Amino acid sequence: MANHPCFAILLFMHSTRWILQPLLILALIAGLSSPASAFEMRMVADVLSVNAKDTPLRDILAQFQEVGVKVAIDERINPLVTTHFENREIGDGIKHLLADCDYALTWQTIEGPAGKLRRISEILVYKPGNRRPLVPLPPPTPIAIEKRTSQTNSIICLKNEVLLRLRPGTNRDQLLALLHATGTTVMDSIPALGLYRLHCPPYTDLANLLNSLSQSPLVARVEPNQIYRSLTPSKFPGTQTAETPHPLPNGSGPAVAILDSGFTPNMILEKAVVTTLDATAPGEPISDPVGHGTQMAFIAAGAISPQGGNVFSDSQSGSIIPIRTMDATGITSSFTLMQSMIFAIDQGARVINMSWGSPTDSVFFNNAISYAKQRGAVLVAAAGNEPIDQPLYPAAIPDVLAVAALGPDGSFWDQSNYGSFIKLAAPGFATMPVGYKGPPGTYGGTSIAAAYTARVIARYFATHPNATSDEAIQTLNQTLTRPVTGATHPEIPRLDPAAVVDYLK
């Protein structure tokens, strides 16, 4: 039994047994069903267990990265390790593993409603007496799974992660006991939303874990860490590349935060950037492996205007906060997005642009949207680039402006999503100086329409600095152009040039 994550609870917090008995039974079942392996490592709450026989050290250290710990090592180091220990304090366990190496550990404090938790965040491994530059181990590839939520619905989420909100009054010791009982560990938190991000062992049945946590009297709500995907714009072959725009002057007015694939720094937008963040690799310089986020930055800052939307003067450039939320494949998680949203709010963003989506909703994400709105932000999201008449989230969340796309002639784009959740349609075609996974040229999509709408709303705040988010939206709704009877999707109002001029007067 000592090889299973639930073992620690037999010796931990005897006084909380009345809380943990149902969870302990489920943890025992999960542990007994785990596959036999020559190597096993578990980091549960604040303790470490390792069972290894002739296992390369790098294979062991790679498991730390699965739990969100950064690892860099001298490339000459990779001995075979044979060891067995249970439930050692993490620092002591690492000391035992790296007894023949020099090493340095970095620790972080995770804040949350249950109090402060100490967590290891980085391990550096050196060769004694002969140090060389260290090589980071490759980051783990996120594993997405499909979890059925009903007979007809399912959700795409990360396999080994869940998001947790505790009931008010839960203390640190109770949280640690809960982690031990379920074999999980805290990877991160969002204190403003009261959320914890938990990692669970690879063999865990996610449905069982979610069920057991939801039944705990300590837990207010638990959700999978949901996957969101970027929206692929349409590229029109044979189109000319836009002329390179002149560098923008210093950005003015409240900033638009762009939660997207990242940002490639350039001289044109240099003065418009307030700050940046790579949420996929905090502390690293921001980049954009696919170009989508950089395209949105050109639109939101005002360096590029979509076709049918050029009503601004050169002096009306805006400020932007580019945030990379997606990996190179164009996917991200709800936790990363919510964390990025809180960063944007803390940096003073009044508009948040979101050009990605999921067919399933999330209570936690709705909470994050409400928090951002209460802090004075307007949230804008692309409606989707498929005409399927089905909601896409976060666009379909009531407090979000869902934006469809207009074509170059001002008519409704035939590939834009539509439906009752759409709030407006805006110009969605632009000739870009940067490409999306390819060369520059003319692109179309609801992403462009959303970024343009975000720019317009930011200009409203620049001229009405004391306006609330509700006032900005109400005024926008009053100025939108209503399509004539008989037009495609006549129920969807348009943010055309006349509406923009009226809105910003």
Residues 338-382 have pLDDT tens digits of: 999 999 999 999 999 999 999 999 999 999 999 999 999 999 999
Edge-to-edge strands, sheet with 80-89: 39-44, 47-56, 80-89
Cα 54 versus chain centre, distance: 38
Average of per-residue pLDDT values in the chain: 88
Range from 87-96, 246-255, 345-354 carrying the lowest mean pLDDT: 246-255
Phi, psi of 204 (to 5 degrees): -65, 135
Instruction: Measure the CA–CA gap between 427 and 448, rounded to whole angstroms.
Output: 7
pLDDT of residue 150: 60
Q: Which helix (H) or strand (E) holds 364?
A: helix 363-374
Tell me if 331 sits within 8 A of 144, measured CB to CB.
Answer: yes
Instruction: Measure the CA–CA gap between 245 and 435, rounded to whole angstroms.
Output: 15
Q: Which helix (H) or strand (E) holds 63?
A: helix 57-66
**Confidence (pTM):** 0.89
In the chain, the amino acid numbered 401 is L
Please give the radius of gyration of the chain, using alpha carbons only, rounded to the nearest integer. Answer: 25
pLDDT of residue 141: 84
How large is the average pLDDT for residues 321-332? Answer: 94
Q: What is the pLDDT of residues 398-450, one digit of tens each?
A: 999 999 999 998 999 999 999 999 999 999 999 999 999 988 999 999 999 99
pLDDT of residue 144: 85
pLDDT of residue 322: 98
pLDDT of residue 152: 57
Is 34's pLDDT higher than 50? no
4 DSSP 8-state letter: S
pLDDT of residue 239: 63
81-84 long-range Cβ contacts below 8 angstroms, 24+ apart: 81/52, 81/54, 81/55, 81/56, 81/57, 82/52, 82/53, 82/54, 82/55, 83/50, 83/51, 83/52, 84/50, 84/51, 84/52
Cα 174 versus chain centre, distance: 28
- 110 falls in which pLDDT band (50, 70, 90)? very high
- 505 falls in which pLDDT band (50, 70, 90)? confident
Q: What is the pLDDT of residues 439-489, one digit of tens each?
A: 899 999 999 999 999 999 999 999 999 999 999 999 999 999 998 777 788
Instruction: Measure the CA–CA gap between 220 and 196, rounded to whole angstroms.
Output: 12
SS3 of residue 85 by DSSP: strand
314 DSSP 8-state letter: G
Is 78's pLDDT higher than 80? yes
Instruction: Measure the CA–CA gap between 438 and 241, rounded to whole angstroms.
Output: 12
Instruction: Measure the CA–CA gap between 492 and 482, rounded to whole angstroms.
Output: 7
